[in-house]
Structure 1
Amino acid sequence: MVPWFYASLLQLWIVLASATAANTQQPLHAVKPFRIDLSAGVPHMYDLLRRSHLPAKEGYPGIGSTAGIDLSVLKSLKKEWLDDFDWQHEEKELNRFHHFTTSIENITLHFIHERSSDPHAIPILLNHGWPGSFTEFIPVINDLTKVSETSNGKPISFHVVVPSLPGFTFSSPPPANWTLEDTARIQHTLMTKILGYETFATHGTDYGSGPSYTLYKNYSDTVRAAHFSFVPFLPYLPEQLAAANITLNTTLEKDEQANALVWRTAGNAYFSVQATKPNTIGLALHDNPLGQLAWMGEKFISWSDPRQGTPPSVLTHTDILRSVSLFYLTKSFVSSVYTYYQNPTTFSPTYPDPGTLPTDLGPMLFSAFKYNVGYWPPQLLEKIGNLVYYKNHDFGGHFAGVDNPPALIEDLREIGTYWNGTAL
């Protein structure tokens, strides 16, 4: 080849290299594509399942699920896990999404990032809780990226980011003194410095409401809207509602309050164990897939709408088995329950004085679901943020993304009605 061709080729390479460098804004935070491959641990998991034994019958007949997971249900789940569940198929389905990892403050953070084709889409970060994971948002991700309309006809779509909380599934365990406020900080870094979003919205449920609320309250210049189906404040007891002159007028509200009271008085023993003795339960179940199924599966069943598996619910036994398999195969059960130990006061009994909140808070939206384990009437939510939207649903429970995906999608889209950030 003639010398001028080499010179031109070199010049082209320099231009391309310069352009690539200019578009790379995170030299200290490399983003790596990630593919789920947990097949190596599957034979051991099934071997343990086959060799595990359950009692032939209930020691105390007639108690059903009043004392925890029903023996017959656990037997059925175990049988389905061994005979019908296909981890390779589930892994393939999960890998249809774009997974990534990055390192922030020595935490390996796993996340799904699905971008809309709409250049005006709103970036949104969705935070899961326990015993959920990123998988509880799988049914809503694709629909959120599609261009649709809000209730007042405004076009709306989202760039969707679903991180795994530190210590959950593919995100590395955090150090001992790690809090959900720390999680919010690295998630803010992820969204702004790594993914390059100048403003974004967030959604949170269960323990994921902690970092999402911190993002909403402490980073109000960039987090311009928030949606919740759970908040990091304890719901009021009946006597507290009465003292605050809050009256529940509808049957749905009264049912929700009753469900929340059952959890508060008889359904939170696991919380006390995980907040005080995470090692005991964590190590006991670390290499025990059937034990993890009993411990976590009971929560999926009892916290969800009893009509689970019938539309609009997409929560089936397969979803429960996929979630438990994911925790077992990633060996993250212990680190996930440590979240409670590290953050025992996340759900505060004290609501903030409105005068202490930032004056530039973005809009806050809330979705209530009949069978959730917490109930907050609008008067309580107005204490913690700029509540602009409140929707009560008579179908669904704690895991809205699988309990009632259409309702969650519709309510999240209402962010577009109130959005005053600058979407990219």
Structure 2
Amino acid sequence: MNAVAVHGVGTSHFGRQPGRDLIALAEDAVREAFADAAVTGVDAVWVGTVFGPAGVAQRVLRALGVTGIPVITVENACASGTTAFLEAHEAVRTGRYGRVLALGLEQMSTAFAGAITPEPTDPEGRSGLALPALYAMAAARYLHLGAVTPEQLAAVSVKNHAHALHNPRAQYSGRYTVDEVLASRMIADPLTVLQCCPTSDGAAAAVLAPAERGSRGVGVRGIALRTGAPWNHRSPHVWGHDVVRDTAADAYAAAGLAAAGDVDLAEVHDAFTIGEIVTTEALGLVPPGDGGKAAAAGVTALGGAHPVNPSGGLLSRGHPLGATGLAQVAEVVWQLRGEAGGRQVEGARLGLVETMGGGVSVLDGNACVVAVLEAP
């Protein structure tokens, strides 16, 4: 079995880009990843996308001259990109292919005017429960239990928008106050518009190959994927907590880590402010019930003990579903190489990526991927 490394990464800009098709977005990401890895081709490609049309993977790759090799498309809700990354990793680890491209892409601005339409075959979907409402229920539960305050929820948005000031590829950035976040337009009580990820278009890519001593390759120390179990009254936690916790335990074991505290930074799935709070607790970065306190106290900010989402996260960088996980991978690779500029986490050696695929289908999350990456 091979030790696997990420030898190159690339992304497009993120934002509403209805005038740029998926081919143009993918070209930005793939060309940058190939140049970063100093390669001109790969042996196979895994592509993650949620709403791309049939044949989208072959269509965009044909335009880039990548043809005649195996191309596999995967869909795992918001974790589609990291699922493609996981499968590419496994293909290299087992020696099935020598060099593999993982690509994620999505154009949301032309697919939806607002929130993603709920799936009518799900009980929740038939009731009209969209994802903002589902996360709002989690936030309301935390507020009811006294596990978070409105100000602590808003602190996540303040932090991530400030981080994005140093990310030229991010969709949004800015210096907001807690009061400004709370006063912004209500989307799903108690979540205001500045606490919700935007509609985004974008692409991201990574080239994986066997690790080479002395190279710039960032090692994949451990990676895991789970689908959520049926979510019901048996769990005391809000939706999404348990699948993140269990997937993280698998990834830590694969990476040989005793605890989450061993990682130097994390890129996590903060589609809504409550999502980051729940996730930091589920990952074990902070104790249960301390996610909101940590955000308000600067623990999860740049310069804090556990920096979370230095890229700006989904809240600010944007959330083009299929591309999100690989955008997180790219950010962690840049961080571990010391190439993140004004958002650099000094001395970072271990970085964590967590992507949790949503969708309300009576499950505690459609899919979750957690990966631990290691500096060259």
Q: Considering the TM-score relative to the shorter chain, is it more than 0.5?
A: no
Higher-helix-fraction structure: 1
Greater C-alpha radius of gyration? 1
